[in-house]
Structure 1
């Protein structure tokens, strides 16, 4: 049996004075009734006004508060965020014999859940063993789900079913939430599908709340098609269901579709006004596509709707502008924020970092420390280490890493070690990077070995590349990128037999290299390109322009870099493939379809290759255009034939 936490009980039963005895006098009874009504009214009024402590003091003079009085007292404790007050009310309920009232028990469990006191919620639930209504069951399942105890919540659902109590729509909603917060993704996904089947048999699938929770569930596990099917079959949708589906697409690598769905909501459903949750997801989609034009439109909508006072929306605006290449606007939003949390600071630090401005990122970090209102967290240091890596600040990166524990009590995770390995590896200090891995206090994860393998590609170190790939093939057997990276390193060293061995291993495991894809926004529309894209209606114009640039570059000594082509082709064919890379096509499309002098902004799903980097530098000088390319690692600002990365990426 679970017990109430004694340390939280300022009002122990022996603190209450004895209750007055009931006399036989009718006048005394009437007086008591009047006092009872007056005291109930006074306690209720104090509870509504938030004077919980004063209301609690009156409990000792009250023969028996009504159910309504106790309900308002419990709600007052929740609003006051006071577990100790809730425990005091709980003890008074026990003294008055009302602790097994199903209605009040439900309210008390809800209060304990919101106050984060699951053990006390369990005590109430256990005391209701013989009088558990569906509302009591639901309240406790919800309490466990809110506390992140998904497996326990699902276990209680099984108990509920075994006792013969029928699930209602709230039970299904909380059970689905429990699947999301459960510890095992495979287990949560399977149980979620089982619950989906059960609610279909019971006819609950059309309920808008359940359907929305199902979308959230499938979004959590990356099952976008399942979420889409639920959404498409909903007979009625509200802003929450629209937001859930938009968020599902944005969070699962489908930003283009997320934006399309948002505009469908805006145009076809004028009664559904987007809320702050919708805006966060839409801004995330804009950031993923570097869709600055659409991002600005969303920003205008945010201001018109008065959503610019909401912290998560402002944080998303900072991230959106940073990832769209407009650091000036990101900083302006950041500086205008009335309140900042750790996410705000991290967003600004990360923004400077991915653009290669490590000194500015470190300055923001120092502002954060000097401000004193927000402490850095693990993400802060991941962003700082990434910034130092992109800018080659080895000593500063090491100093930050080794300050985490003594100065900020943050113990490095695998991602932090990966950041340090990346800093050292990019700088050519591979022996030191290897020593860091060997001395790690935790088991090196795939991010650590991946950082080492990436550094080996830059410096063509076969020995460490092979050591890293052996571990990566064990940790990530289906990640084709690791095999391709190793093959690239062998190709750089002209070890063709090893290249063929890795290619055969790739084929034997049924893996394929991820295709290069690039996006560009022109005149408010987003266009996507894949490498050697023969289906694009302007492909002949694009190729003609790229060939022209290539010939002019060759006259100035340019030699196409075809080392990344691992197939046995002649040099002319390899040059054609390299010339058709998706980012080159996107640049050519931007030049043809945008106004003279307009900045071209491109997003690439992979790392920018050496040849594309060289060609884009030339194009920026030849056309007098600024070209921004965001690859999977960082931003490249091309202007006047120079890249902001300093050829260090």
Structure 2
């Protein structure tokens, strides 16, 4: 029932608008995409066509993002090729989304072939999407090639080096991780620090990894310990591959449970009444471990937890996420 309501309410708002131009329709499609509601985005696109409104390049960015965030590979591929039916030439952003769409689904070779066939020179976002996918599937050789292309285009963007280090870490190649870190130091680059925000009683609270500066820090870490105990009792096994240090598993687990969104969740739990939805914003992409942990936490505490990370919205409830573990 809730899913039906989430789809109908925006549609009713759309119907009530006196002027429903391409901007309004495109915003709706993009909104559904950010929340991983791919089929609703497609339905909205079809309704837009029936209303006689011609889509533009931004419309297709939203539509492709919606397919990407929902794992709708075939649909996304078809919509990309249908852009020409409307006289729209794909831009770099369209190509990057398709590469990400293919790569996240495991079609790495197809993604590379797609890049090789591009009529325009691939940019940073295109190669970056391939590098990110290579990390997921631990394809070191192709990932290194993508990293070389990215470095040649943006040699002083720390995020690209972190992506390569993530790839090496996922493959257990710690000597290569150290080489990347040394290279970053030589270039004077540093990794962006992750932080999470949560609003409680009209006041915005910010947390960083391992942050103990909050006035209620003792209570927050007590709640964290309680959550970790309940997670272990429920059979949760931390995914330590996301830690970029060659440490033992115990040390890795301690680092993971102190990530900024975990601190924000703990603070939200001790600061709001039972059943209240927690809404958190994170500046970086959620790591695999925190994503898995938050799913189970939502079930253990009986709360919905909404996290807006760098890419999209995640709605955690009853042990599952709206992204269906595809993000």
TM beyond 0.5: yes
Contact 2:231 2:297 in 1 (8 A): no
Deviations 1:453-492 (A, max 9, x none): 1111111111211111001111111211111111111111
Partner of 2:77: 398
Is the contact made by 2:174 and 2:246 (CA closer than 8 Å) also made in structure 1?
no
Moved runs in structure 1, 4+ residues, more than 6 A?
none
Where in structure 2 are the equivalents of 1:412-423 lying within 5 Å? 412-423=90-101
- State yes or no: 1:447 paired with 2:125: yes
CA contact (8 A) 1:327 1:351 kept: no
Structure number with the bigger relative contact order (C-alpha 8 A, sep ≥ 6) is: 2
Q: Does 1:429 align with 2:131?
A: no
What secondary structure sits across from 1:638 in the alignment? strand
Report what 2:31 is aligned to: 351
Instruction: Tell me how far apart the structure 2 counterparts of residues 543 and 327 of structure 1 sit (CA, whole Å).
Output: 38
Ranges in structure 2 where 5+ consecutive residues have no aligned partner: 1-5
Counterpart position of 1:367: 47
* Corresponding residue for residue 498 of structure 1: 176
Contact 1:607 1:632 survives alignment (8 Å):
yes
User: Which of 182, 185, 188 is 1:510 aligned to?
Assistant: 188
CA displacement at 1:569 relative to structure 2: 3.8
For 1:536, the equivalent position in structure 2 comes to: 214
Task: State the Cα distance separating 1:601 from its structure 2 match.
Answer: 0.8
Partners of 2:68 and 2:196 in 1: how far apart?
A: 24
Cα distance in 2, alignment partners of residues 611 and 564 from structure 1: 7
Q: 1:504 to 1:455 in 2, by over 3 A?
A: same
Conserved? CA contact 1:350–1:384, under 8 Å: yes
- Write out per-residue CA displacement over residues 317-362 of structure 1, whole angstroms, 9 at most, x where no aligned residue: xxxxxxxxx7766444333211022221111001111111101001
Deviation at 1:567, TM superposition (A): 2.9
1:632 equivalent among 310, 317, 321: 310
Residues of 2 paired with 1:416 and 1:452: CA distance?
14
TM-score normalised over the length of structure 2: 0.94
Question: Which structure has the larger Rg over C-alpha atoms?
Answer: 1
Q: Which residue of 2 aligns with 1:381?
A: 60
Correspondences of 1:107-506 after superposition (within 5 Å): 330-372=10-52, 374-405=53-84, 407-506=85-184
**Shift, 1:596, TM fit:** 1.6
Counterpart among 282, 288, 296 of residue 604 in structure 1: 282
Q: Secondary structure at the match of 2:242?
A: coil
Distance in 1 (CA, whole Å) between partners of 2:109 and 2:51 is 39
Deviation at 1:633, TM superposition (A): 1.1
C-alpha separation in 2, matches of 1:521 and 1:332? 28
Q: Secondary structure at the match of 2:221?
A: helix
Give 1 or 2: higher strand fraction. 2
Q: 1:328 to 1:633 in 2, by over 3 A?
A: farther
Pair 1:554-2:227 in alignment: no
Shift of 1:375: 1.8
How far is the alpha carbon of 1:384 from its aligned partner? 0.8
Aligned runs of 1:79-94 on 2, under 5 Å?
Answer: none
TM-score (norm 1): 0.48
SS of the residue 1:617 aligns to: helix
Quick check: 1:617–1:642 contact (8 Å CA) kept in 2?
Answer: yes
Give CA deviations for 1:492-538 in whole Å, capped at 9, x if unaligned: 11111111111111111111111111111222222211111111111
How many angstroms apart in 1 are the aligned matches of 2:210 and 2:12?
40
Cα 1:598–1:335 shift into 2, 3 Å: farther
Change (3 A) 1:329 1:600: farther
Task: Tell me the distance in 2 between the aligned counterparts of 1:396 and 1:572.
Answer: 43
Give the count of matched residue pairs: 322
User: 1:535, 1:328 → 2: CA distance?
Assistant: 43
The answer to which structure has the higher helix fraction is 1
CA distance in 1, matches of 2:144, 2:282: 28
- Residue 559 (structure 1) shift: 2.3
